[in-house]
Each structure stands twice: as structure tokens, then as C-alpha cells.
Amino acid sequence: GQQLNQSPQSMFIQEGEDVSMNCTSSSIFNTWLWYKQDPGEGPVLLIALYKAGELTSNGRLTAQFGITRKDSFLNISASIPSDVGIYFCAGQLSGYALNFGKGTSLLVTP
């Protein structure tokens, strides 16, 4: 599958700070998805993006589908301790398989 580059690899922030992470690909995608995974659990879908330029929010989370269709970002505003986890981006061009980034590990200190 296509290679997704997700950055940063890890983030260590204080509660209340805003967070930004992104994903880039050398190939275009038709769909971008963002997931969060808690330790020992399966990833949970946070936001799905279907159109280039689309900006979607889910509570304190905002994600955008890049105009070039080769990138996406996720922002978390006013972080709280329960935001701790690993965040994955995933892209899909066609067919049935999602391509996942390697994840951004987020740690939030009170």
C-alpha cells in the first residue's frame, strides 16, 4: 500500500495546550480518517474526511483534508489528560484497504 508519513512521532504537552499533528502521502487519497487508540484497545474512529479542502470538527478536535489530497492534519484544542493515546491517520484511494500512518503518541501532563 501507499506510504503515509505521520508526524510528529510523539508529543509531550501540558494540559490546556493545543496539539497539531499531520499526515502526508506521495499518493492522493479519496478519504482521510483519524483514529485514537488507548493502550490495549482497538483504534476508535474520530473524524472522517471525504472531500479535498473539507474541514470537520468533533468537539475539541478539528481535521482537514488537504487540497492536494495528499495530506491531512488533526488539531486538538485545550488538551486534557484523557487525550493521552496514539493517534493514527489513515488514507484510502480505492478498493477496500486503508493505509495507516505509524501514529503520533500524545502524552498530556496535568
Partner 1 sequence: SQTIHQWPATLVQPVGSPLSLECTVEGTSNPNLYWYRQAAGRGLQLLFYSVGIGQISSEVPQNLSASRPQDRQFILSSKKLLLSDSGFYLCAWSPGAAEAFFGQGTRLTVV
Q: How far is the CB of 108 from partner 1 (least distance, A)?
A: 18
Cell for 24? 502526508
Mapping DSSP to helix (H, G, I), strand (E, B) and coil, where does residue 8 land?
coil
Q: How far is the CB of 78 from partner 1 (least distance, A)?
A: 26
Which residue lies nearer to partner 1 by CB, 43 or 66? 43
HSE-up of residue 24 (Cα within 13 Å, Cβ side)? 3
Q: In the block, which residue shows the cell 501514529? A: 103
Choose one: 20-28, 58-66, 76-84, 99-107; the region binding partner 1 (CB under 8 A).
99-107
Binding mask 47-86 for partner 1 (x = CB under 8 A): -x-x-----------------------------------x
The answer to whether the beta carbons of residues 60 and 47 sit under 8 Å apart is no
Peptide bond just before 8 cis, omega within 30 deg: yes
Q: In the block, which residue shows the cell 492536494? A: 68
Count of residues that bind partner 1 according to CB under 8 A? 25
Q: Where does this chain bind partner 1 (CB under 8 A)?
A: 1, 31, 33, 35, 40-45, 48, 50, 86, 88, 90, 92, 94-98, 100, 102-103, 105
